Structure 1
Amino acid sequence: MNIIPFQALACPLDGAPLHRNGPTWRCAAGHSFDIASQGYTHLLPVQQKRSRDPGDSKEMVAARRRFLNAGAYQPIAAAVSRAVLVDLPPGATPRCLDAGCGEGYYLRQLAAAAGAGQTLALLGLDISKWAVLSAAKQDPRPNWVVGSNANLPVLPGTLDRILCMFGFPVYAEFARVLKADGQLLQVDAGPDHLRELREIIYPTLKPERTIEAQAPEGFTVLATETVRYLLDLSGAEQIADLLAMTPHLYRASAEGRAKAAALTALSVTVDVRLTRFGLEAKR
């Protein structure tokens, strides 16, 4: 496969095209953004931040990197890669954004799944500078940027695929940057996802409602797929890493976290729903 960086970036201050000149991205108005020595670009202006250091911490990113690189979620990555690559015209160079890329695992898996003659233009974006730094260190080929899904630094109508993995979808922004025939691939936790862990850290579980995939405004559902399997976790560190990369780390009580920390082995159900959305035809 041939992986190239996605280049159709937009200035996060005025939306104008960014052009690269050496180690700097610059728009016509003169706004400039330096490319860090590690290969990523910070495109999250201070006025768009809700905190001084938004997103996952350095420790959370390290936990996610260890857990995912061990292959625990590889079946999810394989399903996502198949969904990205299906129905692509021969010889095309699809442009793909991972919106909320974390440390880049799913884009690296996509790159590995692409065929020998396939070229992909990849962009990974996350609000956490620690996540983007980790992603850039592991694979320099895609374009990696610190940015927000609420204000994607991407030119309109330039993307063929968007991934949103357990993330924070901003559908109006996704619709703005997708091509007319582009697709959004969204992965969400199913009702039984990590149930065994949740049963340990919470006193009771709320009843889960199985809801059919609903298309957000401007989109239509193309296909849905459930990825479900049993995952055996061995060692306190792997269990701690899983907990650290989920919202349950903060939602659980101190007692619940202590119960999880005492575990040395656990089998958990992985249950996720992959939905492919297409843009509604404009009338």
Structure 2
Amino acid sequence: MSTLENLSCPIDATPLSRDERSLKCEHGHVYDLAKTGYINLLPVQNKRSKDPGDSKEMVAARQAFLNQQHYFPIVNKILSSWPKSDLVNGTRILDAGCGEGYYLNAIGGALAEQNIAMERTGLDISKWAITAASKRDKSVSWLVGSNASLPVPNARFDAILCLFGFPIFSEFSRVLSDKGLLLLVESGPDHLIELRKILYPSIHDYKQTFSEGMAHFDLVSEQSETYRFTLNSQTEIQQLLTMTPHIHKASYDGREAVKQLESINLTADIKLRWYRKTKVVDYV
């Protein structure tokens, strides 16, 4: 079962303690556990919208697509590229922007086959994503929260995974232990290129993110994973489209053209960058 331990109040950053089906801080702020076991640590005043993050529809589409295992090679690449000296029992992992929990669940299953048990925590700003995640894997601590203000104390984790997400490096550095690891997984220049050529009249030049590096992190390794996969129905194609930003960015004509497809061969092009926290900072 998940632990939901060593968490902080998102309002005043004081420690949270368990009281049956709730977590509360010394100042009386109380957070109730949901029926499926997750905890919502995103107070109303920290929301930029009424229902932030992925919608219920996007979460359902992503879950249906990922359950078909088209992206499982990414899981294998994460594990094969993980610095071996850090892949040990008891490592505390945060998936920052975990979505509906596919990757954290798959990583846990793969590590269990190697007799490696890690403490896994998944955080996402979407309550719909965390609701789905909490039904998928009961051994993970699932949190509704924001990367901009992680509801955990300093040095809480040994590794942070940010997969196709929105990294906040100052917060990641704060909650990582000394020499902790950070993994960024992002799309490469040819990711879903066949679909993008249908959706858009032109393809923008690829620009690598954070090419100048980040404060308090050193690059350990940079790797790629490229492979082909096929979607064999309009349903699968729409699931993929709905779970990506392309559903909002593409033109009407592009989306209509995609609706005419019965199948499509696609390229997955993924960039993985491992970083290690280097400089110890005194946080107020």
Normalising by structure 2, report the TM-score: 0.94
Distance in structure 2 (CA, Å) of the matches to 1:112 and 1:150? 29
How many residue pairs get aligned? The number is 280
Alignment partner, residue 70 of structure 2: 72
Counterpart contact for 1:66–1:241, Cα < 8 Å:
yes
Moved more, 111-120 or 186-195: 111-120
| More deviation, 102-111/117-126 | 117-126
Stretches of structure 1 lacking an aligned partner (at least 5 in a row): none
CA contact (8 A) 1:9 1:155 kept: yes
SS of structure 2 residue aligned to 1:204: coil
C-alpha distance in 1, partners of 2:274/2:174?
A: 17
How far is 1:117 from its partner? 3.4
User: Which position in structure 1 is the counterpart of 2:95?
Assistant: 98
Which residue number corresponds to residue 114 of structure 1?
A: 111
- Confirm or deny: 8 A CA contact 1:77 1:109 kept in the other structure: yes
- What residue identity is the alignment partner of 2:62? R
SS at match of 2:248: helix
Structure 1 residues 64-213: aligned runs within 5 Å: 64-84=62-82, 86-88=84-86, 92-115=89-112, 116-209=114-207, 213=211
Q: Distance in 2 between matches of 1:89 and 1:140?
A: 22
How far off its partner does 1:89 sit? 6.8
Is 1:17 matched up with 2:15? Answer: yes
Task: Judge conservation of contact 2:108–2:117 (CA < 8 Å) in 1.
Answer: no
Normalising by structure 1, we get a TM-score of 0.94
C-alpha spacing 1:21/1:128, structure 2 compared with 1 (3 Å): same
Distance 1:111 1:89 in 2: 12
Q: Is the 8 A contact 2:21 2:32 kept in 1?
A: yes
Find the aligned partners of 1:12 and 1:21 in 2 and give their Cα distance: 17
Q: CA–CA distance in 1 between the matches of 2:109 and 2:83?
A: 12
Aligned CA-pair RMSD: 1.7
Q: Runs of 5+ in structure 2 lacking a partner?
A: none
Shift of the 39–79 alpha-carbon distance from structure 1 to 2, 3 Å rule, reads same
Contact persistence 1:6–1:95 (CA under 8 A): no
